[in-house]
Amino acid sequence: MINQLEFATLGGGCFWCVEAIYQAVEGVQSAVSGYAGDTEDKADYKTVCTGLTKHAEVVQIAFDPNVVSYAELLEMFWIAHDPTTLNRQGNDVGPQYRSVIFYHNEGQKEAALQSIAQVAPEIWDNPIVTQVVPLETFYKAEDYHQNYYNNVGDRNSYCTFVITPKVSKFRKKYAHRLKKA
């Protein structure tokens, strides 16, 4: 019997970082980079990077809830980025890099609010600024953004200095939750 997949859509700064982290998690079938958060009928990297749209860089995660729960994905989310900085992750600045949870249903909304109230404060001392909003539309990012870290890795200095340390820290903490080679 094939388990029904669920979806989570999370924005934690640069989608390359978020995608690289969740791709390695057991129970995650796919992690797709994209854009969400605006009412525009399309989104593309050049436009979103201006910071003039309401889109955020996000990753849409297809996961098996019998292997990894939505609550676990949210706990990983708090570890994977800084949810206490408004419209910023490190040197990436602008509303497109905001911390945001786009919920797919009321259950996810309640889980997100509970996680913000109970889990995130155990990890972070400063107030959590993560938005929790309904997902209206997800736009898949351009093909060259998909699987970016795995394809480019340390051949890109941004990956070397920003993504690799985050991925390494994450994989060390969650070694028991990673896909087997």
Active site residues: 14
- CA dist 153 to 102, 150, 160, Å? 28, 6, 7
Dihedral Cα 40, 94, 11, 116, nearest 10 deg: -120
Q: How many residues would you count in the chain? A: 181
Backbone angles phi, psi at 103, to 5 degrees: -85, 150
* Residues 50, 174 contacting (CB under 8 angstroms): no
